[in-house]
């Protein structure tokens, strides 16, 4: 049965539901309905799984409650819009942003949607998400984007989260410039999204550091000029060697642990930029006793998705191949199997997995 079968309050759908640490199920849930005049209901066409979903399943985010539908990425088709929605209508193909933006608050007016007073990252977190047949999107006019007819849909899904995250938190905050030397620490999907979008600014040197040789090999195919397996090589020494002992102009942390942040701080050149992308669970030690005089900049950021229109143009004009981050395809119904693959990413050589609805 689907939402098309009858009035909304009678309908049900399938969804990936969180039931506390370690527990999830693909099960029946009521089809979402409009709650506010600014809402839209989107029938999911494609979605994906994020590393953050695994963190939720580990219990790292206690604000996520039992019964929550996970997922904050995807594309779909508008099923219904609230009375205040003016930009979208039933039948429109849309990209869902991982960040909901009310468009009115002080933060949204500044382009800092991540800190929207009513939105921010709420999908699949504080409200039900996109790993389902239908999803309710609040503030639809300012949280959805039209998809051009000719676009590669798999690539477009990467615009929900991973490409803007890599670009905004890593590349823009890192201020990558033509001719720069850049080190990216972490070759997971987000680190690789940094790698792809860093090339928008034509750095001369793009060094990728990870502990997984497969991911480093992928990084090579996606534009890394050098790769370092930090389990087998002294990464600090190697980065210094590759930069003639100057250090890098930009260091981008895409893991989220103290050791990788330390690496960035150890190799940054005077005047350089350290851009933190990773989600950290612990404090790091910042060596101000040496860094105070080195004219460096350190940034943090939760993705705002304020660059989604710009990134959409780069994807549609084939300036970046978002689909190159996708390693596995599943039917949406097979999402439990997709989770299994994604949870064993190293074994499966998995980066992003795409789930496509049958309808």
Closest to 43 (Cα-Cα) out of 144, 130, 123, 133? 133
SS3 182: strand
CA distance 266 to 287: 9
Span from 50-58, 89-97, 99-107, 348-356 in contact with its own copies (CB under 8 A):
99-107
CB of 86 to its own copies, least distance (A): 7
Task: Collect all residues with Cβ–Cβ distance below 8 Å to 220 and sequence separation of at least 6.
Answer: 208, 227
How far, in whole angstroms, is CA 274 from its chain's centroid? 19
Sign of CA dihedral 16, 19, 25, 31: negative
- Check residue 309 for interaction with its own copies (CB under 8 A): yes
CA distance 332 to 328: 12
- Check residue 284 for interaction with its own copies (CB under 8 A): yes
- Which tokens sit at 263? 């690496």
- Check residue 35 for interaction with its own copies (CB under 8 A): no
- Which tokens sit at 2? 């689907």
Which residue number, 120 or 129, has a Cβ lying nearer to its own copies?
120
CB of 112 to its own copies, least distance (A): 5
Span from 124-132, 234-242, 314-322, 342-350 in contact with its own copies (CB under 8 A):
314-322
- Check residue 283 for interaction with its own copies (CB under 8 A): yes
How far, in whole angstroms, is CA 275 from its chain's centroid? 16
- Check residue 104 for interaction with its own copies (CB under 8 A): yes
SS3 108: helix
SS3 91: coil
Task: Collect all residues with Cβ–Cβ distance below 8 Å to 69 and sequence separation of at least 6.
Answer: 15, 16, 17, 18, 29, 124, 128, 129, 131, 132, 135
- Check residue 109 for interaction with its own copies (CB under 8 A): yes
Give ∠ CA 157-162-168 in degrees, rounded to 5.
125
- Check residue 205 for interaction with its own copies (CB under 8 A): yes
- Check residue 178 for interaction with its own copies (CB under 8 A): yes
Contact 214, 139 (CB under 8 A): no
- Check residue 200 for interaction with its own copies (CB under 8 A): yes
- Check residue 297 for interaction with its own copies (CB under 8 A): yes
- Check residue 337 for interaction with its own copies (CB under 8 A): no
CB of 44 to its own copies, least distance (A): 23
- Check residue 211 for interaction with its own copies (CB under 8 A): no
CB of 158 to its own copies, least distance (A): 15
Span from 9-17, 43-51, 290-298, 338-346 in contact with its own copies (CB under 8 A):
290-298
Number of residues that bind its own copies (CB under 8 A): 70
- Check residue 152 for interaction with its own copies (CB under 8 A): no
Residue in 294, 327, 334, 337 binding its own copies, rule: CB under 8 A? 294
Element (H, E) at 206: strand 205-210
How far, in whole angstroms, is CA 92 from its chain's centroid? 23
Q: What is the CA radius of gyration of the chain?
A: 20
CB of 247 to its own copies, least distance (A): 12
- Check residue 259 for interaction with its own copies (CB under 8 A): no
Closest to 171 (Cα-Cα) out of 186, 183, 159, 160? 183
Residue in 40, 81, 298, 345 binding its own copies, rule: CB under 8 A? 298
Residue in 6, 20, 148, 270 binding its own copies, rule: CB under 8 A? 270
CB of 233 to its own copies, least distance (A): 22
Count of Cβ atoms closer than 10 Å to residue 90 Cβ: 12
- Check residue 188 for interaction with its own copies (CB under 8 A): no
- Check residue 179 for interaction with its own copies (CB under 8 A): yes
- The binding site for its own copies (CB under 8 A) comprises 37-38, 83-84, 86-87, 103-104, 106-107, 109-112, 114-115, 141-142, 177-180, 199-202, 204-205, 225, 256, 261, 270-271, 276, 278-289, 291-302, 304, 306, 309-314, 316-317, 319-320
């Amino acid at each position: 049965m689907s939402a098309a079968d009858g009035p909304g309050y009678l309908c049900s759908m399938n969804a990936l539901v969180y039931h506390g640490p370690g527990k999830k199920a693909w099960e029946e849930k009521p089809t979402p309905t409009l709650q506010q005049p600014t809402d839209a209901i989107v029938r999911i066409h494609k979605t994906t799984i994020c590393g953050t979903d695994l963190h939720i399943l580990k219990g790292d985010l206690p604000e996520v409650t039992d019964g929550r539908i996970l997922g904050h990425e995807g594309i779909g088709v508008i099923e219904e819009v609230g009375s205040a929605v003016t930009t979208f209508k039933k039948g429109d193909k849309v990209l869902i942003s991982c960040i909901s933006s009310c468009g009115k608050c002080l933060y949204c007016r500044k382009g800092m949607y991540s800190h929207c007073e009513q939105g921010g990252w709420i999908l699949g977190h504080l409200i039900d998400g996109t790993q389902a047949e239908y999803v309710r999107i609040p503030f639809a006019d300012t949280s959805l984007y039209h998809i051009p007819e000719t676009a590669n849909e798999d690539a477009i899904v990467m615009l929900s989260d991973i490409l803007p995250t890599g670009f905004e938190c890593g590349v823009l905050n890192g201020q990558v410039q033509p001719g720069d030397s850049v080190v990216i620490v972490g070759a997971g999907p987000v680190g690789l999204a940094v790698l792809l979008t860093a090339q928008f600014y034509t750095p001369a040197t793009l060094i990728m550091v990870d502990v997984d040789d497969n991911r480093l090999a992928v990084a090579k195919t996606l534009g890394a000029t050098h790769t370092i397996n930090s389990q087998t090589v002294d990464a600090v020494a190697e980065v210094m060697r590759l930069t003639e002992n100057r250090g890098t102009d930009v260091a981008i942390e895409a893991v989220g642990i103290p050791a990788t942040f330390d690496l960035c701080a150890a190799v940054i050149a005077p005047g350089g930029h350290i851009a933190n992308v990773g989600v950290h669970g612990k404090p790091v030690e910042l060596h101000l006793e040496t860094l105070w005089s080195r004219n460096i900049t350190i940034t943090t950021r939760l993705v705002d998705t304020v660059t989604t229109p710009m990134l959409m143009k780069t994807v549609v004009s084939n300036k970046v191949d978002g689909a190159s981050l996708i390693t596995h395809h599943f039917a949406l119904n097979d999402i439990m199997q997709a989770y299994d693959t994604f949870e064993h990413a190293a074994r499966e050589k998995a980066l992003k997995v795409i789930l496509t609805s049958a309808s």
